[in-house]
Chains A and B, each alone.
Chain A
């Protein structure tokens, strides 16, 4: 089946630095990708919808200047957490849809120290 690859799987960074997470659709083209955030023992919360060639659509309460999304090609979307703080520590998961199915990346565990 279709595969969505997310990189890195985990990252530790210092407060104030920026971190970029990549999400690739490996064998299909995805005009739309989704970014989710998951805190421990909680559900997935949609952060934003990434649209190829145009601006991302952010959910209410998500700071677009802090979570920069770029969808420059049909197979790659990136999420950059800028000026990261400990409260940004979380599990970030991307998703891409092909037809009726939704495929998820492996997730990225971000720890800000």
Chain B
């Protein structure tokens, strides 16, 4: 059974600081997604990582994928309050291309 784990589960950080969220998954996959969810809302797509070594950046967020280690990271640079949300990674598996979500990381950026 595929397991997708994120850590930390909760992160409180000050504005201006840097931090990394980790996403580990237990079986082979060559496609990984990162999403943002605001309270009471649905998911907003952030990144799709398609191959080993892929790195994508958008604003203060940068995501990378290491398929050999089955690890993806989401790095936050100089955090701002607007980044406060829950972040999920998700992995594609199986012939039906199902998405399995990570446990989620709730990020709180304080002033």
Binding site for B on A (CB under 8 A): 6, 32, 34, 36, 41-46, 49, 57, 93, 95, 97, 100-107, 109
Residues A101 and B45 in contact in the complex (CB < 8 Å), given A43-B88, A43-B104, A109-B40: yes
Query: How far, in whole Å, are A17 and B80 apart by their CA atoms in the complex?
Result: 45
* Chain B residue, CB-CB nearest to A1: B45
Q: Which B residues between 27 and 52 are near A, CB-CB below 8 angstroms?
A: 31, 33, 35, 40-43, 45, 48, 50
Give CA–CA (A39, B99) in the complex, Å: 17
Chain B, interface size: which category?
Answer: 20 to 34
- 15 chain-A/chain-B pairs, Cβ below 8 angstroms: A32-B96, A43-B88, A43-B102, A44-B88, A46-B100, A49-B96, A49-B98, A93-B43, A95-B99, A97-B97, A101-B45, A102-B99, A104-B42, A104-B43, A106-B42
Asked if B101 and A44 sit within 8 Å, CB to CB, the answer is yes
Contact of B20 with A by CB under 8 A: no
Q: Which residues of B come within 8 Å of A, CB atoms?
A: 31, 33, 35, 40-43, 45, 48, 50, 88, 90, 96-104, 106
Shortest CB distance A2–B (Å): 10
- The answer to whether B103 and A43 have CB atoms under 8 Å apart is yes
Chain B residues, Cβ within 8 Å of A41: 106
Point out the residue from B31, B45, B99 that lies within 8 Å of A34, measured CB to CB. Answer: B99
Other A-B contacts than A42-B104, A101-B48, A102-B90, 13 sampled, CB-CB below 8 A, are A6-B42, A41-B106, A43-B88, A43-B102, A46-B100, A49-B96, A49-B98, A57-B96, A103-B45, A104-B42, A104-B43, A106-B41, A106-B42
Q: Are B33 and A102 in contact (CB under 8 A)?
A: yes
CB of B36, distance to nearest CB on chain A (Å): 11
Out of A49, A93, A100, A101, name the residue touching B42 (CB < 8 Å): A93
Distance between Cα atoms of A93 and B50 in the complex (Å): 24
